[in-house]
Amino acid sequence: MHELAITASIVELVAEAARGRPVRRVTLEIGKLSGVVPDAIAFCFPEIARGTPAETARLDIKEISGRALCETCGSEFPLVDLLVRCPCGSIRFRPIAGEELNLRSIELEEVS
C-alpha cells in the first residue's frame, strides 16, 4: 500500500512548513487518476501524524477529475479512466488534469 509511504511524505512536508507550530487543517489535492486512494490516505494520516504538529489537524482532500487533450483532434475531453477514447475515436491523448498529488496548504492553530 503506497498510500502509507505517501502519507509519510505529506506529514513530513506539513511538519517542515509548520516548524513545530500546531496545525489545524491540511488541504490536499488528489487527482482521480493519480493512482492514490483518498480514503487510504485519510486512514493512514492520524497514525502517521501522531507526535507531529499535524497530530490534531483535520484533513481536507479535494478530488480533481481527469481531463485529457486529444493529440489527434486537439479537443479536450473528460478522462474518467485511462481506458477511454477521445470522442473522435483516438486513443492518443495526454492527461492534463486528474494526476495531481499535491499538498495545497496548511492552516496553523495560532498565528504568532
- Interface residues with another protein (CB under 8 A) are 1-2, 4-6, 8-13, 16-19, 24, 28, 33-36, 44, 47-48, 81-83, 91-92, 101-111
Closer by beta carbon to another protein, 12 or else 67: 12
Work out how close the CB of 47 gets to another protein at its nearest, in angstroms, rounded to a whole number: 6
C-alpha cell at 60: 481536507
C-alpha cell at 40: 487510504
Read off the DSSP letter of residue 82: T
Closer by beta carbon to another protein, 34 or else 59: 34
Closer by beta carbon to another protein, 74 or else 111: 111
Closer by beta carbon to another protein, 75 or else 82: 82
Count of alpha carbons within 13 angstroms of residue 52, beta-carbon side: 22
Closest CA to 81 of 66, 94, 93, 97: 66
Work out how close the CB of 8 gets to another protein at its nearest, in angstroms, rounded to a whole number: 4
Work out how close the CB of 76 gets to another protein at its nearest, in angstroms, rounded to a whole number: 19
Read off the DSSP letter of residue 65: -
Work out how close the CB of 77 gets to another protein at its nearest, in angstroms, rounded to a whole number: 16
- Ranges of beta strands (E only) in 1-112 are 23-31, 58-64, 67-70, 76-78, 93-97, 101-108
